[in-house]
Structures are given as C-alpha cells and as structure tokens.
Amino acid sequence: MTQAPNIEYEMPKAYESGKVEQKWYQFWLDKGYFKPEIDPEKKPFVIIMPPPNVTGELHVGHALTATLEDIMTRWHRMKGEPALWLPGVDHAGIAAQVVVEQLLAKEGLDRHQLGREKFLERMRQWAEECRHTIAEQHQRLGASCDWSRERFTLDEGPSRAVRTAFVRLYQKGLIYRGERIINWCPRCATALSDLEVEHKDIQGHLYYVRYHLAEDDQGFITVATTRPETILGDTAVAVNPEDDRFKAMVGKKVILPVVNREIPIVADEAVDPGFGTGAVKITPAHDPVDFEVAQRHGLQLVNILNPDATMNENAGPYLGLDRFACRKAIVSDLEKEGLLIKIEPYSHSVGHCQRCQTMIEPLASKQWFVNMSPLAKPAIDAATDGRITIIPERFTKVYLNWMENIRDWCISRQLWWGHRIPVWYCQDCGELTVTVDDAKACSRCGSNNIEQDPDVLDTWFSSALWTHSTLGWPDDTEELRYFYPTSVMETGYDILFFWVARMIMMGLEDTGDIPFHTVYLHGLIRDERGEKMSKIRGNVLNPIDTLERYGTDAMRFALSTGTSPGNDIKLTVSRLEAGRNFANKLWNATRFIIRSIGSADADMKIQWHLLPVEDRWILSRLSRTVLSVTGLMEDFQFGEAQRQIHDFLWGEFCDWYIEIAKIRLQSAGEAVSPIPVLVHVLETSLRLLHPYMPFVTEELWQNLKRHLSSEWQTTDSIMIATYPEASKAAIDPEAERIVEPLVEIIRSIRNARAQYKVESTRWIEAQIYAGSLASQLKQYTKTIEVLSRAKPVTLLDSRLENAEGKNVLVLVLKDSEVVIPMESMVDLAAEKKRLQAEIEQSQAEITRLEVRLKSRDFLTKAPKAVVDKEKDKLVSRKDKLARLKQQLNRFN
RNA sequence: GGGCAGUUAGCUCAGUUGGUUAGAGCACUCGGUUCACAUCCGAGAGGUCAAGGGUUCGAGUCCCCUACUGCCCACCA
C-alpha cells in the first residue's frame, strides 16, 4: 500500500511551482485510481480520448479537451461509477510525415534517400518520443486517464481493426478502386479527401481565349478560363444545349490553341449560358465537372501534370515547366497568336492543402474510395431518433446536412506513414487479394508473385474506428462488451465531420451499435485578440508554460469557468489570474479553518438542533449550491456549474460565513462552536470542486483530514471520495430570511461610513429598528458591530418616527431602519437628494407593480405563486416608500 | 449560392423549460498595514440586453425582419 505523501504545510507558491501537483499525481497513479474495475453490477462511464497527433507537443486546445474530459471522468468516478478514460495518440498520417520530413530536410536528407523502411523506423522513433511527451503533459494537466489502456493507432490491435474494417467493407462492395477526380497536393505528393482541402478566395483572372473552328477560318468560339495552362489538357468545348448562340456549332470541331489539336464542341446541361461566354473548355483530367462531362460524352482524358505539378510530356513544348510558369508562358503565347481576347480580374475560391497550404490540383487518378451513402443512413437515424445526442444541439443540423449530402471518401494516400492498404496485386493473373493477414499468394491463381498496394490509408480511417478498436474490436473482448458503447465523445466542433461523423458511421457498421451516447463539442481557443491559435501565426500558447506560471488548476479554471459548449474561448491573462486567485483564496480559507480546529475540541459533530441561524443559513446555501451544481453537470453545463461553486465559496462562505464565525471563535464560551460547520462546508465544497481543480482540492482536503478524527478518514483521497449529494432537508428558507436583512444592515452601515468618509479606525453608533425580525437579530448586534465597525449597536423597540436633530442619519432598508448619529452635521442637501432618488425609484417600482396587479389578465393567467410574490412585494415596497417619505419630511 | 452562430457594463464573457431591481472577472473611482488571504478586504460608479416589429399577463430568453461580425458547407469555368 502506498502511503499518502507527507504533507508539509506549504504556501501557495509551492502549489504553483508544480511540486504539489506532481506529488499528488504520482500518488493517484500509485494507488491505481485511474483504472476502473469491471463490475457487471454497475454501469460504467466511458470517454475515449481524442488521440492527439504525434506531431510535437500539446497545445491549449488539448488542455481544454483534457480539462473537460477530466471533469466528467472525475465526477462520475466520485459518484461511484467505474469510470474509464482511455488515452491514446494518433499517427496522424500526412501531418506527422510532414514534420519528420522537415526534420530530415534540416539534415540535408529526404525520405527517398532513406528508403521506406529506414524512413518508417525514423517515424516510429519520432512517434514514440511524442507519445512520451504527450503522456507527460497530460499528467501535468491532471488527466485521470487509464494509462494501462493507452493506445496508439498503429499498435497491433488498432491496426488489425483497420484491416478488418477495410476487408469487410471491400467484401460488401462499399470499398472500391477507381479513377476519379481527386484533390492532389503537389507538395505532399498524395491524394486528399475533400475535407482535407481548405477553400480560400483568391484574387485571380478570367482569361478569354478564342478557339478557331477547324473547317472554317473565320468562325471561332470564345471560352473563359481561370487556368489557361489547362488548355493543354482540353478535349472538348461544351455549350448548353438550349443556348441558341451555339446550337449550330455543336458537333463541329475547334482547333485547340497552342497545341493545335482538334477537339469537338459538345452540348451539356452542366454549362451555365449566363457565365463567361457561355462556352466552356473541357479539361476532364483536371476538373471534376469536366470529368463528368467527359464521361457523358465519351471524351478522352489528357493528364498534363507530373505529381509535383510540373508539366508532363502531354504538355508538349511546356514540358517540365512549373504549373504557374506554364500559365504565364501560355498566356504570353496566346497573346502573340492573337487568341487572347481579354483578361478580367476575377475572385474565385481555390482549394489548398490543409496541412501545407499548397494549392491543390484536381486530378484524375486511380484511388481507393468508400461508398458512403449506405453508411450514412444508419448514422442519420442514430442522431434523429435520439440514440445520439449532440451538444450543443445546433450541431445536429450541421451533422445531418453533411450526412445527407455525403460524397464518397477517397481513403488512399501516397504516403509511407500509416496503415498499408491490405490489398495485394497478382503480377501474373492481375487478381486482387484483399485479406486481414498478410497475403502470401494470389487468392485466385496461387502465384507468389504478388505485390502489396504501396499506398496507406487516410489517417482518419483508423480514427473512425477508435471507439471500438481501442477496446479490442474485432475480437469479442470483455472490455468491448462492458465499455462499449461509450458514454461521451468530447471534442472540438472543428472535427465533427473528420472524426465524429465517421466514428458514428463506422461504429454502427462494425459493431451494430452506436459508438457513444453523447457528443459534447467544445469551442476553439483563441488568443487575447480573438484570433485562432496556429503555429503559422506564432500565437500558440504552450499549456505547460501556462500551468507552470499560474498552476494547473488555475489554467483548468480559466478554460472551463464561464464558458459554454460550442462557443470559442478567449484565453486571457486575466482569466488565468482569476483562477490562480481563486486557488489562493481556497488555500487561505482552509488554512484559517485548520488553524481554528487546532484551538478547539476535536469533535466535529454538527449539533443540528442547536445550530444558530448563520450556520443554518450557510448549510442551506451549500445545499442549494450542490443541488444546482449537480443539475448543471448532468446537463453538461460545466462552465456555469463551476462559476456557482466559485461564487458560493468566495461570495458567501468566505465573505460572510467565515467572517461571522470568526466573531464566535473569538468570544470563547457559551456559544455553539462554528468549527464543525466550517469543516463540513469546506470539506463538502472541496469535493464539489474536485473535478474542476483536482490538485488544490486534494492538497487542502488531505491537510484538513489530518486534523480530523478517525470517522472522517473515509477514503485515502478526495478523488475517490463520494461526490456531494444534495440534501433538500438542509434548505432553510427561514434562516435565509434572517441572514439577508442582517447582510443588508451591515452593508448599509459600511456604505454610510464610506459615503461620509468616516475614518476606518473610528467607531460610530448605530440603532436598528428591525420590526418583526428584532428578536432574531438581537443576538447579532455583536456581529453587526464587528463587521460594520459600529459600536454600540442597539435594537430599537419602535421606529424613530422623527429622529431628532440634524446630525442623525437614517437609512431606510427593506424591512428595517438603521439610525446613525453623526458626529458632525449630516449633509442635508446630499441626504435629501439621496432620499429623493430612492423615493423616485421606489415609486416607479410601485407603479409598475400596481399596474401589473390591476391587470385581470395577470391575475388570472399568471401562476398563483408569481401573483402572490408580486403582492407581497407591493406591500413591502409601499411600506418602505412611506418610511422614506417620512425621512424626507424631517428635512423640510 | 446555401446554412449556422455572435451582437448583454470600458474589455472578456455567463445568463437552458419566458417570471423580482440582468450577473461575474478584469479595468475604473474612493477607502483600507484588524492575527486566513494585498493573488487581499470594504464601498461605489458603469447596461434603453445591436435596430425595428410581433407573440404573451409578462421577453435578454420565443417568432419575424434589418444591420454588422465571424464560421461552416457548396463542382459556376
């Protein structure tokens, strides 16, 4: 058994330095708290962590993910559920390969020089380093995930899942190989899926080019294009069949400029007669629409590009030129030949590689695709019939819209880093062998002369299987049976399509069941200026630097408090400071309470029947807070939940209860000690807060426990203590009705002091008329004295109808009045002004209430409780108004 | 071209079944070396909840419309 670490009573600085954090993390780890037990009697809570890419270190976005997932996991664990949070990392295909290629470039190497095997070895080393760094960083964030189940997408298990899924889809006819227009990144030298292309508006040009008719020197047709270099790949000109201008030309041939090839004029619906000249050049190998036109008309495909986007042999004289150089050259040649009619500035959207920002070339190429529509249908149903809930709800529409318009997914990548496509081509008979285990021979002719497809799969293909591949699928494991479907998928809304949608499709396809019940989408982290963080902008915040500076809990506070799902978060210094200050406040409050315990007797039993009003009040407020926080958490409103814990602890417990309790502690003797309540509220609040701020709560909780008797020693750690349960029994409206005016009285005296600039060291007298509350407030005269620095405070039996003298200040409150004899003259003018303002305000409110209460509709249609409330309010406001007026009369 | 969000105090943002006088942090003003805390304490100022219309007894909250900002999706050469 691991012993709880020996706790030196350190100041917050020690906590900020990270020592406390590391101490506790190690403690939890040693205790094995992160690993849930499989208990068939209990329903588990499961989150599979979105695996960070092995491209370097974590950024604040990951810290947000980790924070939210840790909050949920810790909360459910404290509720006694077997809570599994399964961590992992993603090999990240292109993204990681790009990083390592850059590292190689610094050494003057490229991957082709190394060769596939050596390069992959290098990649594996790199991935292993990253995995290490990432795990370490997660630990610093306090992530309570089960490291014994950590997975990497290229691990044996997940890899077998990938192959199995591929083979099954292939056998069902849902994976096919074919020549289609794909997005080609010339820099990465690979095909990309549509999602991996970012469209940006580019200020370009529209070139109008004349194509002469073949049999008629005079006749011509003019086309408009943004990419004149693709003329080299034209195999037709198309016009709309309904376009009278060109009807006569359809079927004739034109001479392709520059290359002087004859190509036909065809009629096709796809052409918009209103755009450009109404005639379109058709480049089937380099444009998706043209590709389809070509299919319909049986046109030839002419590919004019090499993989690196230089011109190939089909470009004739332009062979070897870069695509942009070629464009210039062609434009200049067209001009020379008088075929360029005009150039117009034109803004259009151009695809760029998501990873390297290189301009994409649409290219006809033979690739592997997944036919998505059959997979989308069950995924649509799951979100429509309520089996899967997306938070915030608005993303359901976005999800459905994408699903309903889904297009086939190009999954092959011409990379080395990733899951190799499990397909072998027979060099003898040409048959494809598609198997999970490495093929040794052709499945048809048995030849050993087979070669595996050199390509790898899109990294998102393995991600799509993550929820089940991490739990053992395709095997029927105990883990899979127990933990699947998982509970929550928590991630950023930016990967809804990339990942979440595909996981739902593949989860349903592979297991027949949804992968998770709830999708929680968080917002993106932005910098102080509201800009998205990116390496290119150089505004990326390293979460480790941040937590070293402010403390992990402060950062978690900054990331989760006062935020809401799906909305972006601006991470500012002041947010971080607020978190740090809150941790510090807790530290100090706990220190105070621990010191108080030391000087009192050790019995912390609350004597419920003897409790004074303020004890009942704070216990009531605690109950309400627990009730509300629990409800909010069940509703995934973590930001609001934490804000309420913060406000309760700081604004009520520290500001009022502790301050009042101090007075009791100082006047030794007859009174009931506040210490049991102090301890109870603190201890409960720490548990309530623990999911959010795990380190400071553990440190303080452990410290507190050391001063308590054995019956408090329920668990070895706060993280496995039970989560507070709301007790409605402790809600005490009567106590609240007394403490509220008490607070109001104290505030009003403090206010008067400030207004009249009474020196802080000077005491003033106060007399209070509290009507029906007098008897309960009687025992609080000392409290009022100490907290408002007024002495003596006396309670009046009756109102001072007309307080005598001009140097008496009368404060009219809701149900009470405070009379303060002033040493010097009261500023009459100022007082009159203040009273008049109050009267006006009061009068306005009364008018509003009266109007409302005269309305028959209101009286009959509003709920009775609301009506009664308004009636009571009117009575009390009228009373206050009358008293205000009397005070004003004093001055007249 | 579609779709979605945001617009609340000087700044950053909360405010989820419509129900008192709309909140917090930071910033600001004034006052504080009281033994938990100056990473603090006390007091204060600051908002026609973007504009307009509607539904309702009652709207920051629901509906319509407008403006501005941002995002997503989309094969107009």
Kindly determine whether the C-beta of residue A757 is less than 7 Å away from any atom of nucleic acid strand B. Answer: yes
Q: Integer distance in angstroms from CA A225 to C1' B6? A: 38
The reported pTM is: 0.93
Beta strands A569-570 and A151-152 are unpaired
Predicted confidence band at A806 (pLDDT cuts at 50, 70, 90)? low
Q: Is the peptide bond before A792 cis (omega within 30 degrees of 0)?
A: yes
Is residue A656 pLDDT above 70, yes or no? yes
Residue A861 predicted with pLDDT over 50: yes
- Omega within 30 of 0 (cis) for the link into A392: yes
Name the nucleotide with the smallest C1'–CA separation from A870: B20
Question: Band of the pLDDT at A6, cuts 50, 70, 90?
Answer: very low
Does residue A852 reach within 7 angstroms of strand B, measured from its CB? yes
How far is residue A339's CA from residue A255's CA, in Å, rounded to a whole number?
A: 11
Least confident of A249-253, A560-564, A812-816: A812-816
List strand B contacts in A 177-196 (CB < 7 A). 194-195
- A106-110, A822-826, A833-837, A852-856: which range is least confident on average? A822-826
What torsion do the CA atoms of A611, A613, A618, A624 make, to the nearest 10 degrees?
100
Query: Does the CB of A405 fall within 7 Å of any strand B atom?
Result: yes
The answer to whether ipTM exceeds 0.85 is yes
Query: In which band, very low, low, confident or very high, does the pLDDT at A669 lie, cut at 50, 70 and 90?
Result: low
- Cis upstream peptide for A676 (omega within 30°): no
- Closest listed residue to residue A712, CA positions, set A679, A665, A677, A675: A679
The distance (Å) linking the CA of A745 with the C1' of B43 is 14
The arithmetic mean of pLDDT across residues A59-79, rounded, is: 95
Q: What DSSP string describes A37-56?
A: ---TTS--EEEEPPPPBSSS
Distance CA A85, CA A49 (A): 7
DSSP state of A327: H
pLDDT at A619 over 90: yes
Exposure of A132 in the CB half-sphere (CA atoms within 13 A): 6
Which residues of chain A between 549 and 578 are close to nucleic strand B, CB under 7 A? 562-565, 567-568, 570, 572, 574-575, 577-578
Distance A873 CA to B28 C1' (A): 34
> pLDDT digit string (tens) for A272-317?
888 888 899 999 999 999 999 999 999 999 999 999 999 999 888 8
Is a pLDDT exceeding 60 seen at residue A2?
A: no
A395-430 tens-digit pLDDT: 998 999 899 989 999 999 999 999 999 999 999 998
Distance in angstroms (rounded) separating the CA atoms of residues A452 and A471:
28
- Model pLDDT, residue A379: 94
Tell me, what amino acid is at A316? Answer: G
Query: How large a percentage of chain A has pLDDT more than 70?
Result: 95
Give pLDDT, residue A508.
96
Residue A288's φ and ψ, nearest 5 degrees, are -65, -40
Dihedral, A339, A341, A347, A350 alpha carbons, nearest 10: -10
The band of A722, judged by pLDDT with boundaries at 50, 70 and 90, is very high
Neighbours of A618 (CB within 10 A): 28
A133 pLDDT band, cuts 50/70/90, is very high
Instruction: List the A88 CA – B71 C1' distance (angstroms).
Output: 29
Mean pLDDT, residues A739-756: 89
Cα A385 to Cα A542: distance, rounded to the nearest angstrom: 41
At A773 the pLDDT is 83
- The answer to whether A93 CB is within 7 Å of strand B is no
What is the CA A787 to C1' B74 distance in angstroms? 66
A647 touches strand B (CB under 7 A): yes
Contact by Cβ (8 Å): A422, A434: yes
**b (16+ CB within 10 A) / e for A369-403:** bbbbeebbeebbebbeeeebebbbeebbeebbeeb
Strand partners, A236: A282
Sort strands A45-48 and A83-86 into parallel, antiparallel or unpaired: parallel
Q: To which H or E segment does residue A621 belong?
A: helix A613-634
pLDDT grade, residue A7 (50/70/90)? very low
Residue A855 contacts strand B, CB under 7 A: yes
Q: Quick one: CA torsion of A325, A326, A329, A333, rounded to 10 degrees?
A: -170
Query: Model confidence at A869, in pLDDT bands (50, 70, 90)?
Result: confident
pLDDT at A501: 95
Q: Would you say A73 and A144 are in contact if contact means Cβ atoms under 8 Å apart?
A: yes
Distance in Å, residue A401 CA to nucleotide B66 C1':
27
Whether the CA torsion A353, A51, A397, A191 is positive or negative: it is positive
Q: At what angle do helices A552-560 and A60-78 cross, to 10 degrees?
A: 90
The pLDDT, as a whole number, for residue A31 is: 95
Answer for A533: CB within 7 Å of strand B. no
What digits encode the pLDDT tens for the residues A332-369? Answer: 998 998 888 899 888 888 899 988 889 999 999 999 99
In the predicted structure, residue A681 carries a pLDDT above the cut 50: yes
Sort strands A253-255 and A197-213 into parallel, antiparallel or unpaired: antiparallel
Structure tokens at A799: 């109102």
Q: Which nucleotide is nearest to A666 (CA to C1')?
A: B35
Q: Is the CB of A752 under 7 A from strand B?
A: no
CB of A666 nearer than 7 A to strand B: no
pLDDT on residue A553: 94
Tens of pLDDT, residues A426-441: 999 989 999 999 999 9
Who has greater pLDDT, A876 or A217?
A876
Strand B lies under 7 A from the Cβ of residue A327 = no
The larger pLDDT score, comparing residue A800 to residue A578, is at: A578
- Is the CB of A349 within 7 Å of strand B? yes
Extended strands (E) in A528-669 = 569-570
* 8-state DSSP, A36: -
How far is residue A544's CA from residue A552's CA, in Å, rounded to a whole number? Answer: 9
Give distance CA A582 / C1' B46 (Å).
25
**CA pair distance A596, A675, nearest whole angstrom:** 7
**Measured CA A343 to C1' B66 distance, in angstroms:** 38
Beta-carbon contacts of A181 under 8 Å, excluding residues fewer than 6 positions away, are: A285, A286, A287, A288, A291, A362, A363, A364, A365
User: What are the CA-CA distances from residue A182 to residues A20, A191, A304, A411, A523 (Å)?
Assistant: 53, 6, 15, 11, 31
The reply to whether the CB atom of residue A281 sits less than 7 A from any atom in nucleic acid chain B is yes
Covered bases, chain B (protein CB within 7 Å):
3-6, 12-16, 19-21, 23-27, 30-34, 36-37, 39-44, 56-58, 72-77
Q: Which helix (H) or strand (E) holds A778?
A: helix A774-778
Q: Name the helix (H) or strand (E) containing A224.
A: strand A220-225
Interatomic distance A729 CA / B20 C1' (Å): 26
- CB atoms under 10 Å from CB of A803, counted, come to 19
- Cβ of A402 near strand B (under 7 Å)? The reply is yes
Q: How far is CA A249 from the centre of its chain?
A: 58
Q: How far apart, in Å, are the Cα atoms of A339 and each of A257, A335, A640?
A: 8, 6, 67
**Which bin fits A204, alpha (ψ -120 to 50), beta or left (φ > 0)?**
beta
Closest nucleotide to the alpha carbon of A747, via C1': B43
Main-chain phi, psi angles of A884, to 5 degrees: -60, -45
pLDDT at A16: 62
Q: Find, among A454, A465, A434, the residue nearest to A157 by Cα.
A: A465
Task: Give the residue nearest to nucleotide B21 (CA to C1').
Answer: A845
Strand B near-CB residues (< 7 Å), A 9-68: 12-13, 16
Report the Cα–Cα distance between both ends of chain A, in Å, rounded: 80
Question: Which nucleotide is closest to the Cα of A655 by its C1'?
Answer: B41
- Between CA A644 and CA A724 the distance in angstroms is 15
> What does the pLDDT average to over A7-23?
66
* Structure confidence at residue A8 (pLDDT): 42
Average pLDDT, chain A: 89
Q: What is the pLDDT of residues A535-572, one digit of tens each?
A: 666 777 788 888 888 999 999 999 998 888 988 888 88
